[in-house]
Amino acid sequence: MKMRNLALLIAPAAAVAMASSVVPVRADSDADRLRDALRAATVQVRQLEDQRAALQAKVADADREKAAAKAQVDAAKAEVRQTEKQYKEAVDEFNKRLAERDESLEKWKTAYEEAATVARNKDAERAKFEGEANTYKASTKSCVTKNGLMLKAGKELLHRYQAVTIGDTIVAREPVIGFRRVEIQNVIQDSQDKFLDQKATQ
């Protein structure tokens, strides 16, 4: 770029030099102009070189900033990938624990239902046994009462039997009147009725 600019500046100077060789009267003033133009071109070339150096420095700074930004972007992408991986692992772990909890909850639910069924069955059996026990208690109480009455009737019969004398036996066998026999049969029938009334029933 520097050589091109220098060539552009020298070309008019060469043209002026050729013209001055043709016209010798103006040689000094043309040479002065060419020197001034050469000095201006040199100053301009230096300014352009300085601008080019500044621009190259800016480009280098921009390249460094670009590289730093790319490194930051790559680091951010890596961090995002790591975060996504950790998030996925956390979600998988959470889902696994949730599935385990659901399975455990289902087992507890089944066990609870089984225990509740057993408890209901035991309560039904207990109620049944309590009902049967109450029935047996009432039946036992009734049997004890009837047993007492039978014992009383037996004692009365035994007492009457012990009170029978030989005369009573002879009168009872007397075939003509038979009053005593009827009386004894009535007593026996009455005692039998008392015993039958006290018969225990289920």
Per residue in 23-62, pLDDT (tens digit) is: 444 557 888 999 999 999 999 999 999 999 999 999 999 9
| CA separation for the pair 125, 119 (Å, rounded) | 10
- Within a domain: 178: no
Residue 24 lies in a domain: yes
Is the four-CA dihedral 188, 190, 196, 199 of positive or negative sign?
negative
Task: Return the number of other C-beta atoms located less than 10 Å from residue 157's C-beta.
Answer: 17
Task: Provide the whole-model pTM.
Answer: 0.36
**Is position 197 within any domain?**
no
pLDDT tens for residues 88-127? 999 999 999 999 999 999 999 999 999 999 999 999 988 9
The Cα–Cα gap between 79 and 143 comes to 92
Is 85 part of a structural domain of the chain? yes
- Does a structural domain hold residue 112? yes
- How many structural domains compose the chain? 1
- Note down the domain range covering 141: 2-163
Q: Is residue 67 part of a domain?
A: yes
Q: Is residue 110 part of a domain?
A: yes
Residue 141 domain flag: yes
